[in-house]
Chains A and B, each alone.
Chain A
Amino acid sequence: MISTIVVAAVVGIGLGVFLQKGRFCFVNAFRDFFAYKDSRVTKGVLAATLLTMVFWGIAYQLGYYQGFWTPRWGLTGLVGGFIFGVGMTYAGGCASGTLYRAGEGYLQFWLTLLFMGVGYAGFTVAFPTLQTTYFEPLTFGEGVSLFAISPVPAGLLGVLVAVGALLVYATLIGRTGTRADAEERSTAASVRPAAMLAPLVGLQQFARGTAEYFRGVAEAARNPLEASKQPWDPRSAALGITAVAVLWFTQVSIVGVTGPEARWTGYLLSQVGVDAGSFEYWGSILFQGQGVGVTVDMVMIAFVIVGAALAALWSGDFSLRVPKRRRLPNAVVGGLMMGAGSRLAPGCNIGNIYSGIAELSVHSFIAAAGIVAGVYVMTHWIYREVGCAI
């Protein structure tokens, strides 16, 4: 047990540090992509997810893993994910972003966490009704990971999907480059070969970008103390997150945030006299009949806040930040929607977009689509006065 707690501390602190230093935010990743076509953080999120998928696939194939999280799939992922996506965009931080900002000293995100707790509790009370009116009619099949059912070995499948995603990405950036060239030359004959060369041009650009990134990191490493205080590239955060996620996968489980938070809510309420175990959702589902207590994943996410606080203190980014009154609705309504949405899906941005896609869970593909759709709609609403790029 002690060794598991140490793993939880290492993984939690590591996640907190990498999230804070890389400004690794899922709201930013999608919102700024929709609003300004700013894809820097989006690329970090994609890199972390794909790298984790490759390593988890290999770990699964070799038998070094503790289990997948594969909820039953259906429209619940789409509906809950959408509510969660709207909520996180309105709140200004996703499930993981809320944790690291709480660590940086934002009182607003402690309030968001509190109202996420209210959302979890409200869901738990309504669960028996939701079971018959929402989950049963909207769930279509058993949850499954493609790693488990694919005839292709899991490690190879992970690599194939990652290579496929890289080729699509290379084609997209290559096409943007070659289209500009083609327009300059403006001859029809040169357009077709240019279009066919798009993936190659894109791969070249990708290789150049990657080489440049590693040169930058090598240079920064010459002065490690100074560099560690500066903001980090989201790609650095992606590499760090992948490393701790692989450790967590081999020792405990996949990385999740809102599940453990919902358990914290039940546990804290049980500490003030509520018989949390008697509620079906806490008792038999979240704590699986083991009794309401502190589980190792609850310890891990608490350490995410600690890690973010340490990283912020080190960088001179820590301060107790008091929200303006006009932002309180964002914390209250956003928090409630994130709490309730993550249970209705089930799963948050980390459970579904990061871990869920990295473990190729069918449910998570649907929930991720729901979350991204929620961010898209809410981004257009927030930017209604100044305009969106997409």
Chain B
Amino acid sequence: MPSIDDVTDAPDELSDERAEELLEEADLVQDMMGEVCPYPQVEAKKGLQKIDSGELLVQETDHVPCTENVPRAVGDDAEARVWRSGDAKYRIYLRKQ
């Protein structure tokens, strides 16, 4: 399916089911609802410093730009996936490398 994602360079999206599964096994969940950039970026970097390699950090956010900015901010430190509820709620999944 052709998508605008081809030119936006956004991280891969998770299905609703997979997003729930992964949330349960998360090692650190950060509540970033109501927060705007750059604070979620800073918190993501701090959070990744706290967990071990292979562990999972999940940020819950309602700030759309975070779904692109946070994954780019952590760069190679983590593998990023996002989940969009379609209702202005998002989760960013960061698996520490």
Return chain A residues, CB-CB under 8 Å to B49.
Answer: 386
Pair B65/A35 contact, Cβ less than 8 Å: no
Closest to B63 in A: A321
Pair A230/B35 contact, Cβ less than 8 Å: no
Pair A230/B64 contact, Cβ less than 8 Å: no
Q: A32-B73, A231-B10 are in contact. Are A322 and B3 (CB under 8 A)?
A: no
Among B34, B46, B84, point to the contact of A108 (Cβ < 8 A): B34
Q: A317-B88, A319-B88 are in contact. Are A223 and B1 (CB under 8 A)?
A: yes
8 A Cβ contacts from B15-46 to A: 33-39, 41-42, 45-46
- Give the bracket for the number of chain A residues in contact with chain B: 35 or more
Q: For the complex, what is the distance from the CA of A93 to the CA of B35, rounded to whole Å?
A: 12
Query: Is the contact region of chain B dominated by helix, strand, or loop, or is it mixed?
Result: loop
Pair A25/B65 contact, Cβ less than 8 Å: yes
Least Cβ distance of B48 to chain A in Å?
9
Q: For the complex, what is the distance from the CA of A379 to the CA of B37, rounded to whole Å?
A: 11
Among B8, B65, B67, point to the contact of A232 (Cβ < 8 A): B8
Return chain A residues, CB-CB under 8 Å to B63.
Answer: 321
Return chain B residues, CB-CB under 8 Å to A184.
Answer: none
Closest to B65 in A: A23
Q: For the complex, what is the distance from the CA of A211 to the CA of B9, rounded to whole Å?
A: 16
Least Cβ distance of A119 to chain B in Å?
19
Return chain A residues, CB-CB under 8 Å to B39.
Answer: 92, 327
Q: In the complex, how many residue pairs between chain A and chain B have their CB atoms under 8 Å apart?
A: 117
Least Cβ distance of B78 to chain A in Å?
13
Least Cβ distance of B47 to chain A in Å?
10
Pair A231/B8 contact, Cβ less than 8 Å: yes
Pair A324/B8 contact, Cβ less than 8 Å: no
Pair B36/A316 contact, Cβ less than 8 Å: no
Q: A319-B62, A382-B42 are in contact. Are A36 and B73 (CB under 8 A)?
A: yes
Pair A38/B73 contact, Cβ less than 8 Å: yes
Q: Does A383 lie at the interface of the complex (its beta carbon under 8 Å from any beta carbon of B)? A: yes
Among A92, A104, A231, point to the contact of B4 (Cβ < 8 A): A231
Least Cβ distance of B11 to chain A in Å?
11
Q: Does B6 lie at the interface of the complex (its beta carbon under 8 Å from any beta carbon of A)? A: yes
Among B2, B68, B69, B85, point to the contact of A222 (Cβ < 8 A): B2
Q: For the complex, what is the distance from the CA of A323 to the CA of B62, rounded to whole Å?
A: 11
Pair B72/A220 contact, Cβ less than 8 Å: no
A/B interface sample: 22 pairs, CB < 8 A: A25-B65, A32-B69, A105-B88, A217-B4, A219-B3, A219-B6, A220-B4, A220-B6, A220-B7, A226-B1, A226-B3, A231-B8, A231-B64, A231-B68, A236-B7, A319-B87, A319-B88, A321-B34, A322-B34, A327-B34, A386-B46, A386-B49
Q: Chain A: residues with CB nearer than 8 A to chain B?
A: 23, 25, 27-28, 31-32, 35-36, 38, 40, 92-93, 101, 104-106, 108, 212-213, 216-217, 219-220, 222-223, 226-227, 230-233, 235-236, 312, 316-319, 321-324, 327, 379, 382-383, 385-386
Q: Chain B: residues with CB nearer than 8 A to chain A?
A: 1-10, 33-39, 41-42, 45-46, 49, 62-65, 67-69, 72-73, 75, 84-89
